């Protein structure tokens, strides 16, 4: 039975490489038609080059061994607003981790909740207070925003490492050890953990996000991590070196972009501040789980916020990333081109060509689908039996729909309202 399973697993990898081969085949065989237009031809080559490079680089990502002699003090910072359902569980898990609990500090910030969040925090503080080194619950009557909460946590923390955990995220016991192991290297200022989707089985939307999260971390972050340039250590589970944070925490807190104070994309922006002077890595073994939107309007709003902060922070990172590593910078700038070119390529393939040249978008849609299929097979091969085919189809669907958010985000970049949270 075990023997058979090995072969089935190899089968998935074979399928993965077969899809890769088919993509190359399509590219080679359709290059003739694209030669006429440099823009589309460059896009076509770049997109394949970029995505394939992610898989190859992530494969070459080196594992770092845990070092039991290196046990710095850690502070969990959890800013929360109206999270009475999850906050207790989030905090409770800090007392169950595989780490010397005396070296653990927990700072929970109640950011003007109007539900039972504060009492849940206090209940959790009582329950874990005896086991961990220090617990502090900060209570703000009036909401100030996540960025203020994070900054407050950093300022109140007295540990070497600050770990941000979202109020709807849960960490696994060995998460901390796998996060702190990277800080042995003094160049490292931030480490992103690996976050999977907690409510994966709710519906197709969350299944699709589970696929996206998995590949975004396992492949894309790992590929960035190779150069120590992870461009976003997300708020759901990331560790930062407190000593380095202190250097710029106030500047970050009052960051302005195009004249307005930045109200979201706090994690990406904090990573950016860190990357200017230090490096950031990704730890695939530091596992956490987070709750994702299960309804489309909420998901779309979240994606729009992410895209706005992506545009903002990419502009900023673009100014210094070339000094870090030339190859990584090349991929970074290449990706900017791809992100903005994709709606144009989409319009050209789906509208312009069918109407004016009578060329149906077979090749385009197939190419898009094959690319996502590649991600789907990777997911299937690693994660095991999942409704991955459905996830790939919805990934396909949402990619097409949400492609339009980027130009829209660019237009409305100065609108910094959250919409809803």
Partner 1 sequence: MYFEFSGRKLGLLLIIGFFMASGLAIYTFVNSATNLTILTEEYLQRQTAYASYWLQFKLPQTPQVAAAAFSGTVTTSALPPTSADGQAYAVPVLVYHGEGDVGTVNMPQRTFVEQMRALKDAGWHTITMQQFTDFMQGTATLPAKSFLLTFDDGRRDTFYAMDPVLKDLGFNAVMFVITGFSLPTSGKDEPINRFYLSRSELSYMVQSGRWELESHGDADHALYDIASLSSTPGNVMTTPGGHFLSNLFWLSDQERIETPQEYAARVADDLDTSKRALQDVFGITVDSFAFPFDDFGQNYINYPGAQAELARIAPSEYSFGFIQASPAKEDFFNYPDPNTFFIKRLEPSASWSGADLLSALEDAGPRQLPYASDSFGSEWNTNWGSTGAKSDGSLALLATSRTTGAIALLSGSSWWTDYTASATADIGEGDFSLLGRYDPANDSFIACTLSNGNLLLQERRRGEQHAVASAPYTRKSGSQRSITLAIQGSAASCSAEGASVSAAVTAPPSGALGVEVWAPRPGLAKADLTHIQASKP
> Binding residues for partner 1, per CB under 8 A?
17, 20-21, 24-25, 28-30, 56, 59-64, 225-228, 279, 281, 358, 360, 362
Phi, psi for 269 (deg, rounded to 5)? -70, -40
Residue 61 C-beta: closest distance to partner 1, Å = 6
Rg (CA), the chain: 22
Tokens of 382: 């690693």
CB atoms within 10 A of CB 136: 14
Nearest alpha carbon to residue 199 among 227, 224, 168: 168
Q: Is the CB of 330 or the CB of 360 nearer to partner 1? A: 360
Residue 53 DSSP symbol? H
Q: Cβ closer to partner 1: 256 or 358?
A: 358
What gap in Å lies between CA 192 and CA 123, rounded to an integer?
29
Rounded least distance, CB 57 to partner 1, Å = 9
CB of 346 to partner 1, least distance (A): 20
Task: Tell me the closest approach of the beta carbon of residue 28 to partner 1, in angstroms.
Answer: 6
CA 376 – CA 370 distance, rounded (Å): 9
Of 22 and 341, the one with the shorter C-beta distance to partner 1 is 22
Cβ 207 to partner 1, closest distance in Å? 29
Query: CA angle 339-306-91, nearest 5°?
Result: 145
Q: Facing residues of 237 across strands? A: 165
Kindly provide the residue ranges of all beta strands, DSSP E only, lying in 296-401, ordered along the sequence: none
Identify which of 187, 205, 188, 209 has the alpha carbon closest to the alpha carbon of residue 197.
209
Query: Which CB atom, from 32 or from 259, has the smaller least distance to partner 1?
Result: 32
170 vs 278 by CB, closer to partner 1: 278
232-255 burial: b if 16+ Cβ within 10 Å, else e: bbbbbbbbbbbebbeeebeebbeb
Distance CA 349, CA 371 (A): 16
User: Hey, what are 323's tokens?
Assistant: 């000094």
Least separation in angstroms between residue 359's CB and partner 1 is 8
Supply the minimum distance, in Å, between the C-beta of residue 280 and partner 1: 10
For partner 1, give the closer residue by CB, 312 or 348: 348
For CA atoms 316, 414, 419, 144, give the dihedral sign: positive
Choice between 264 and 378, CB closer to partner 1 = 378
Residue in this structure with the two tokens 């949402």, named with its chain if needed? 398
User: Measured from the CB of residue 286, what is the shortest distance to partner 1 in angstroms?
Assistant: 14
Give 47: exposed, middle or buried? Use CB within 10 Å, 0-12, 13-18, 19+: buried
Which residue's CB is nearer to partner 1, number 24 or number 401? 24
User: CB of residue 160 vs partner 1: minimum separation in angstroms?
Assistant: 21
CA distances to 21, 54, 167, 254, 370 from 25, rounded to whole Å, are 6, 19, 46, 51, 12
Q: Which is nearer to partner 1, 52 or 140 (CB)?
A: 52
Nearer to partner 1, 181 or 242 (CB): 181
| Shortest Å, Cβ 275 to partner 1 | 13
The C-alpha atoms of residue 204 and residue 92 are separated, in whole angstroms, by 30
For 165, the enclosing helix (H) or strand (E) is strand 161-165
């Amino acid at each position: 039975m075990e023997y058979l399973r090995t072969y089935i697993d190899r089968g998935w990898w074979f399928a993965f490489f077969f899809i890769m081969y088919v993509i190359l085949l399509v590219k080679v065989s359709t290059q003739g038609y694209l030669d006429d237009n440099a823009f589309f031809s460059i896009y076509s080559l770049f997109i394949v080059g970029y995505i394939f490079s992610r898989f190859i680089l992530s494969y070459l990502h080196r594992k770092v061994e845990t070092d039991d002699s290196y046990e710095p003090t850690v502070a969990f910072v959890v800013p929360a607003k109206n999270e009475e359902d999850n906050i207790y569980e989030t905090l409770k898990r800090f007392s169950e981790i595989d780490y010397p609990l005396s070296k653990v500090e927990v700072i929970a910030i109640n950011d003007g909740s109007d539900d039972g969040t504060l009492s849940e925090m206090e209940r959790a503080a009582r329950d874990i207070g005896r086991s961990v080194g220090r617990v502090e619950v900060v209570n703000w009557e009036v909401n100030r925003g996540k960025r203020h909460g994070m900054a407050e946590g950093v300022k109140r923390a007295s540990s070497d490492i600050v770990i941000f955990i979202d109020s709807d995220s849960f960490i696994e016991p060995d998460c901390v050890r796998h996060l702190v192991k990277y800080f042995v290297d003094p160049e490292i200022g931030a480490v992103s953990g690996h976050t999977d989707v907690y409510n994966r089985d709710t519906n197709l939307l969350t299944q699709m996000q589970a696929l996206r999260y998995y590949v975004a971390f396992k492949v894309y972050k790992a590929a960035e991590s190779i150069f120590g340039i992870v461009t976003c250590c997300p708020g759901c589970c990331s560790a930062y070196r407190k000593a380095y944070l202190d250097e710029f925490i106030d500047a970050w807190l009052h960051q302005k972009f195009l004249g307005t104070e930045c109200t979201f994309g706090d994690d990406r922006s904090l990573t950016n501040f860190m990357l200017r002077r230090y490096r950031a890595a990704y730890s695939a073994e530091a596992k956490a789980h987070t709750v994702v939107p299960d309804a489309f309007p909420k998901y779309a709003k979240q994606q729009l916020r992410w895209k706005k902060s992506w545009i903002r922070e990419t502009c900023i990172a673009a100014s210094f990333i070339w000094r870090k590593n030339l190859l990584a910078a090349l991929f970074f700038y290449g990706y900017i081109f791809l992100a903005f070119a994709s709606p144009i390529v989409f319009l050209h393939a789906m509208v312009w060509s069918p109407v004016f040249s009578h060329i149906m978008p077979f090749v385009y849609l197939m190419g898009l689908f094959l690319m996502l299929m590649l991600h789907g097979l990777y997911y299937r091969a690693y994660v095991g039996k999942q409704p991955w085919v459905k996830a790939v189809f919805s990934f396909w669907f949402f990619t097409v729909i949400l492609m339009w958010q980027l130009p829209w985000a660019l237009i409305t970049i100065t609108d910094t309202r959250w919409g809803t949270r």
